[in-house]
Amino acid sequence: MATVSLKGIHKSFGDLEVIHGVDVDIQDGEFIVIVGPSGCGKSTLLRMVAGLETVTSGEVYIDDICVNNEEPMDRNIAMVFQNYALYPHMNVFDNMAYGLKIAGRPKPEITERVEAAAKLLQLEPYLERKPRELSGGQRQRVAMGRAIVRKPYVFLFDEPLSNLDAKLRVQMRLEIKGLQKKLGITSLYVTHDQVEAMTLADRMIVMNDGIAEQIGAPLEVYERPASLFAAQFIGSPSMNIISGTAKKGTVTLEGGAVIKTDVEADGAVMVGIRPEHLVQDAKGPISVNMAMSEPLGANTLLHGHLGGADIEFVANLPGVHRDDAMAGEMKFSVPPSAVHLFDKVTGKRLGQ
């Protein structure tokens, strides 16, 4: 088990800087998810921890030891990749045992570790099979088993579920979370899927263009996003963002609607309202010209434009609401505590 610390991490490729100073201390046994859109630097950050990319400036510590100049094999980390990286000519047992054989571990120890990992991952019936004879989920388990048998200080996951179908991703997500809790191994997990981030993480690092926009527990990021980017990236459907003017506990939205807020601010702001926090209210101040609905079963997404302004607006209401019943104008209210305000220039959150 180990702690991991990133101190002022920068990464440049020539004149192009792609990581702009990331600082985070990861506790022993903590599950950290690095989340963000494609090209934001999340995999580059993970690869620097692994030693697969050099650090331009800053330090990477594993258990209080700076590993900047250590080779990947000397960092006692284990990495699980998106494409599984299994040897097609080897069976499951040999794939899982390969790293131990290269390390010169005794055969009885190798057998014991592989069999223990196979039992943990429910792979015992498949030890003699080749990768081509396995399903996608079983191959991912083999890749995880190969990491587990090494008894690493740190697990690194680089978008390991991207190649799986939606149902299997949910199943594997639960298995990874349960496995990490059972083993208690410090883990860093990269994904572009904010649902994976919300459900897996003890804390998440929200990345945007090489900058850590926010580091915090999933519900903390959801309920109190530190920036416009974090607010819109975390949450599905995305937060509604509208220009407004704040004054004495109220905010006037573009289009003229006046709503209350718990945030003390004055002047031009950006206003964030999550679709699921809107309440259908015949006397509500927010008027929306509805265009279409998306019934999802337990809830319905309603799409339209904010009254008085050509701004797309989404409401997420419980139950089934069909297009023919939703045509025309609808009115909504929103609790003051659910109104988020952001600085119009910097995009940073206003208030606590």
Domain extents in the chain: 4-229, 238-343
**CATH, domain 4-229, list 3.40.50.300, 3.40.640.10, 2.30.40.10, 3.90.1150.10:** 3.40.50.300
Q: How confident is the model at residue 307 (pLDDT cuts 50, 70, 90)?
A: confident
Provide the pLDDT for residue 323. 62
Query: Torsion angle, CA of 288/290/292/298, rounded to 10 degrees?
Result: 60
Whether 165 shows a pLDDT value over 90: the answer reads no
Alpha-carbon dihedral 54, 58, 63, 69, rounded to 10 degrees: 40
DSSP code for 239: P
- Mean pLDDT value across residues 270-295: 92
What is the C-alpha radius of gyration for the chain, rounded to an integer number of angstroms? 24
What pLDDT, on the 0 to 100 scale, is given for residue 33? 97
Q: How far apart are CA 144 and CA 79, in angstroms?
A: 8
pTM summary value: 0.90
Number of alpha carbons in the 13 Å side-chain half-sphere of residue 23 = 3
- When pLDDT is cut at 50, 70 and 90, the band that residue 84 belongs to is confident
| Average pLDDT, integer, range 234-247 | 94
Residue 164: per-residue pLDDT: 80
Task: Check residue 83 and give its pLDDT.
Answer: 79
Residue 182: CB atoms within 10 Å: 9
Most confident of 32-36, 261-265, 325-329: 32-36
| Whether 278 contacts 288, CB under 8 Å | no
pLDDT band at 325 (very low <50, low <70, confident <90, very high): low
Q: Mean pLDDT throughout 91-106? A: 92
